């Protein structure tokens, strides 16, 4: 009897470690491309019953892994802006622009974040957002918009504020934070690569703010249960994000965002097909 219980426990631990690797990969590979990392994580949990530790600490920590990757890749650029903040007007305006783009998410998140969580975290909503977002990306990409800002550092605070307002659409899972901010930036005349990089920079305060807020809301349920799984997820998320950011920028420069749009549409249709066959969660 004890041997059987030990085998069951071992199988359960192995399943959690595999889930940690898979979910860490999902977070790291999708956080900065316009396909919705939150949507993918929700779908993985709903369709595959991926085991995670109790509370929200796991998903919170793996998001930090992805954000750390941005900080590592752009460390020299970001640190130089921080050092020049008090002496260089351009550096100050860049910081102001990032904070301005972050501002609308703070206001909306504090005002209606809990209502959004309750209303929209369902596979059918995610599928709808994926499909609609895909068509929006295709429409914007085919507009051939004029470019006013070639570099992320050129974006003015007022323009950044407008980009931040568009980014708020990403409170609906399936929209994609990076996708909303990139499309918002393109509509404001930001070049393709600059729009992607600016979305990376805005992700730093946005995701850190969301993490702190989530940790505060979940303070009563946080525990160190599954600490190994959390550490694995964090590391995999960091490494996979580190690996994807530069190739993503190169891909966008060559091919644009339309391939991601078709992926979104195909995934959304697949989700609806699975739900229609009764293969999804009952609460969808």
- Per-residue pLDDT reduced to its tens digit, 195-254: 999 999 999 998 888 777 777 776 666 666 567 788 888 999 999 999 999 999 899 888
Whether residue 34 is contained in a domain is answered as yes
Q: Which of 24-38, 54-68, 198-212 has the lowest mean pLDDT?
A: 54-68
**C-alpha separations of 96 from 35, 81, 150 in Å:** 27, 11, 18
Instruction: Name the average pLDDT for the chain.
Output: 84
pLDDT band of residue 131 (cuts 50, 70, 90) is very high
* Enclosing domain of residue 120: 2-276
- Percent of the chain exceeding pLDDT 90 equals 50
What's the domain count of the chain? 1
Whether residue 246 is contained in a domain is answered as yes
- Please answer whether residues 178 and 101 qualify as being in contact, where contact means their C-beta atoms are separated by less than 8 angstroms: no
The DSSP code sequence of 71-85 is HHHTHHHHHHHHHTT
Average pLDDT (77-101) is 93
Half-sphere exposure of 204 (CA within 13 A, CB side): 18
Average pLDDT (94-116) is 86
> Widest CA span of the chain, in angstroms?
71
Q: pLDDT at position 281, please?
A: 60
Distance of CA 199 to the CA centre of its chain: 10
Whether residue 284 is contained in a domain is answered as no
- Angle, vertex CA 246, rays to CA 133 and CA 22, nearest 5: 65
User: Of residues 163 and 2, which shows the higher confidence score?
Assistant: 163
Q: pLDDT at position 54, please?
A: 54
Closest CA to 162 of 115, 207, 202: 202
Q: Residue 256: which region, alpha, beta or left (left: phi > 0; alpha: psi -120 to 50)?
A: left
pLDDT band of residue 1 (cuts 50, 70, 90) is very low
Closest CA to 27 of 64, 52, 2, 54: 64
Whether residue 225 is contained in a domain is answered as yes
Average pLDDT (88-96) is 93
Whether residue 281 is contained in a domain is answered as no
Whether residue 271 is contained in a domain is answered as yes
Whether residue 47 is contained in a domain is answered as yes
Name the range with the highest mean pLDDT among 16-25, 180-189, 269-278: 180-189
Q: pLDDT at position 254, please?
A: 87
CA–CA gap between residue 218 and residue 213 (Å, rounded): 9
Which pTM was predicted? 0.86
Residue with tokens 């050092």, as numbered in its chain: 83
Q: pLDDT at position 242, please?
A: 94
């Amino acid at each position: 009897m004890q041997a059987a219980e030990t085998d069951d426990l071992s199988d359960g631990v192995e399943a959690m470690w595999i889930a940690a690797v898979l979910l860490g990969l999902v977070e790291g590979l999708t956080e900065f491309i316009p396909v919705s990392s939150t949507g993918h994580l929700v779908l993985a949990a709903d369709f595959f019953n991926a085991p995670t530790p109790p509370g929200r600490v796991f998903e919170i920590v793996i998001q930090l892994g992805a954000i750390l990757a941005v900080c590592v890749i752009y460390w020299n650029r970001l640190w130089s802006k921080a050092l020049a903040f008090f002496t260089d007007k351009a550096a100050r305006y860049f910081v102001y622009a990032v904070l301005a783009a972050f501002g609308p998410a703070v206001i909306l998140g504090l005002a209606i974040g809990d209502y959004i969580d309750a209303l929209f975290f369902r596979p059918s909503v995610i599928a709808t957002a994926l499909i609609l977002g895909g068509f929006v990306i295709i429409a914007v990409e085919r507009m051939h918009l004029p470019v006013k800002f070639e570099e992320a550092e050129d974006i003015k605070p007022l323009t950044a504020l407008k980009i931040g307002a568009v980014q708020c659409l990403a409170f609906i899972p399936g929209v994609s934070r990076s996708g909303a901010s990139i499309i918002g930036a393109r509509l404001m005349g930001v070049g393709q690569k600059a729009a992607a990089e600016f979305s990376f920079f805005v992700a730093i305060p946005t995701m850190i703010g969301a993490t702190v807020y989530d940790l505060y809301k979940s303070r009563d349920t946080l525990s160190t249960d599954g600490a190994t799984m959390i550490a694995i997820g964090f590391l995999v998320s960091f490494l996979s994000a580190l690996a994807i950011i530069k190739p993503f920028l190169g891909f966008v420069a060559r091919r644009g965002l339309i391939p991601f749009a078709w992926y979104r549409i195909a995934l959304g249709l697949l989700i609806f097909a699975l739900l229609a066959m009764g293969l999804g969660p009952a609460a969808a």
